[in-house]
Structure 1
C-alpha cells in the first residue's frame, strides 16, 4: 500500500474547484490527502471553504503569495506526505478510477517516475470532437514538441512529457528536482510540465501515458496574460521562452543547434519561425507579424536564460 497526495492549484474559480472536489469524493481508491493551493488574495475560494463541507475528503489548504502554478506546486510539494504526488487542475474532474489506475502502475514498476493520461475536453459542457492519435507527449529529434494528451488512444506507452491537468510522480523521484522556478508567466506558466518531465528522463526515470487514466477537462477562464482564445504577445513570449530554456537544457549539444535553427527558420503554427510567418502572412497579415516577432523574442530570451543558468552551474 502506498500513500497518494492530490495537489490542486486554484485561483478565483470556486465553482470549478467544487466540481473537481466532488469528483475526488467519488474515487474508488480514496486520496490519502488533498492539498488545495490557494492564493492569499483569493477571497472567493477562501469563502468557499468557509461555506462548504467536502467531507470525507482529507483536505488541507496551502496558502501562497507568489502568483503562478510553479510556486503553488512547490508550496504543496513541500508539505505533501504521499509517496505518489498526483496533480490536476481546478477545472478538471477525474474519473472515478483515476487514483486506482495510477496506484496500480506505481506498485508494478519501481522504475516508473511519472504516469499520466488523457484529458477529455469539454467546451460549454459539450465534449469536443478531436481526431484520435497514438502519438502523444513526444519531443522529436530536432526539438519539435508534440502534446496531444487530449487526443490519445491505444495502449499505455512511454512518453517524454505528461500534461499538468492529469499527471503524477513518484515523490522520491521529484523531491530534489521540484518544479522549475525559472518558468516565465504569472499564471499557467506554459511548459512547466516539460521542465520536470525531461529532467526526470535525464535521470533515468520512466514516464508512462495511459489514455485509460482520464479526467474530464472544462477549460476555464484564466486570470493571467494567457487568455486561451486570443493572442497576447506577453503570453506567447513566456511560452516560447519556457520551451526554449527547457529544450536547450535537456537536448545534447548537436541537437541544441539543430533545434535553434529549426525554431528560427521553420517553427510551428503557435511559435512561428520564418517559413511559418511567410505561410501565414497572406492570410493573417499583421497578426502573423506579431506572432513571429513575439516568437523570436521568446527564443532569444530563452537562450539568454539558459546561458545564464549554465554560467551559474559552472561557477558552482
Structure 2
C-alpha cells in the first residue's frame, strides 16, 4: 500500500479479541455491510493470545475489507488496542469490541461529527442486541444510566465505553494510548476519558453513532463482569493518584437512588427483576474494588519483604 493511499484513509477500526471466533465473525460481517466507501477505512483485528487460530475467521473478509490481523501474547484489551493503534494508517481511530455489530450508518455518522469537531473524542450509543437476556438487559441499562448521568450535556460528555468511541490518531498518540496497567476489560476506558479531559480536550456524545452489543450473560458471568468493574475502578483510582489528581468525590446519594429507580422509570421489561440486578451489580462492584485493593496491598507487602 502506498503512502498516498495511507493519506486517503479516514478511519482505522480497531477490534481487540480473545477466543471468541463466532462473535468476531458477526462483528466483521456487520462492518462489511457498512454504507461507507471501502477505500476510506481499514479494519485491524488484534488477537490477544487466543488459544485457537483466528485466521479462518478473518480470511473470508479480506476480499471485502482492507483487513489486518495482528497477534500478541495475552496482555489484556488495553495493550491490544494500543498495538492496533500503532499499526493504524487512518486519520481517526475507531474502537469497538468483537461482540459488537455496528449499524450500517456508523462511519457515515462519525464522519459528520468529525467535520465539526475534529479534535474531540466522539462517543456513540450502544444498543442491547439481546433483549431477551435479563442479565444482558440489566448490564446495558446500567450503561444507559451512566451515559444519561455523565453525558447529559452532549457537548460536555465525561464518560464513554471503549466499544464505541473514536478520536484522531494524533490525539490518541499525544495522550499515550490506553493505560496498560489495566489487566482486564474494566476501567481502562474510564481512565482514558478522564485523562483526556484532564489535559483539556473535549468529548462529544453522538447517539446517532450506534453499535449493537451482543454480550450474552448468565447470573455467574453478570456477577463476574461487575466484580471486575469494581477491580477496574480501584485501578482507575490508582492511575489518577499517579497523576497527582485530587481524589474523586463520591457521587451523591441521589445518584444511587436514581440508579435503582432507573429500570422502573424507563419501563424496561421485567423492571423489578432488573432493579434487583442493579443492586447485585453494586454489591459485586464494591466487592471487586476491595478485593483488588487487598490484592495489590498484599503484592506490595510481599515485594517489600523480598530480599534482592
Same fold (TM over 0.5): yes
Query: Within the alignment, does 1:43 sit opposite 2:39 as a pair?
Result: no
CA distance in 1, matches of 2:217, 2:55: 19
- 2:108 paired residue among 88, 100, 104: 100
What's the counterpart of residue 31 of structure 2?
24
3-state SS of the aligned residue for 2:29? helix
Stretches of structure 2 lacking an aligned partner (at least 5 in a row): 1-7, 258-275, 300-308
Residues 194 and 249 (structure 1 numbering): CA distance in 2 closer, same or farther, change over 3 Å? farther
**Going by fraction, where is strand more abundant, 1 or 2?**
1
Shift of 1:45: 2.0
Q: Residue 164 of structure 1 corresponds to which residue in structure 2?
A: 162
How many Å apart are 1:100 and its aligned residue? 0.9
Cα offset, 1:230, TM superposition: 2.6
The residue that corresponds to 1:120 in the other structure is 127
Q: Give the alignment partner of residue 91 of structure 1, picking from 93, 99, 118.
A: 99
Please give the per-residue CA displacement for 1:55-103, whole angstroms capped at 9, x wherever unaligned: 2210001111133101111110111111100011111110111011111
Distance in 1 separating the partners of 2:142 and 2:17: 29
Contact 2:230-2:284 at 8 Å conserved across structures: no
Distance 1:131 1:161, change over 3 A: closer
Within 5 Å, which residues of 2 pair with 1:171-210? 171-176=169-174, 177-185=176-184, 188=185, 190-210=186-206
CA distance in 2, matches of 1:211, 1:233: 24
State the SS of the aligned residue for 2:223. coil
Kindly state the Cα deviation for residue 238 of structure 1 after the two structures are TM-superposed.
2.4
| TM norm structure 1 | 0.69
Query: 1:167 & 1:80 partners in 2: Cα distance?
Result: 16
In the aligned structure 2, how far is the partner of 1:83 from the partner of 1:219?
Answer: 30
**CA separation of 1:237/1:118 partners in 2, compared to 1, >3 Å: closer, same or farther?**
closer
After TM superposition, the score normalised by the length of structure 2 is 0.70
Give the Å deviation of 1:288.
Answer: 9.4
Decide whether aligned partners of structure 1 residues 227 and 200 sit closer, same or farther in structure 2, where only a CA change above 3 A counts. farther
Change (3 A) 1:184 1:98: same
Aligned residues: 265
Give the alignment's Cα RMSD to 1 decimal.
4.2
Contact 1:242 1:302 in 2 (8 A): no
* Conservation of the 8 A alpha-carbon contact between 1:36 and 1:62: yes
Q: What SS does the corresponding residue of 1:115 show, helix, strand or coil? A: strand
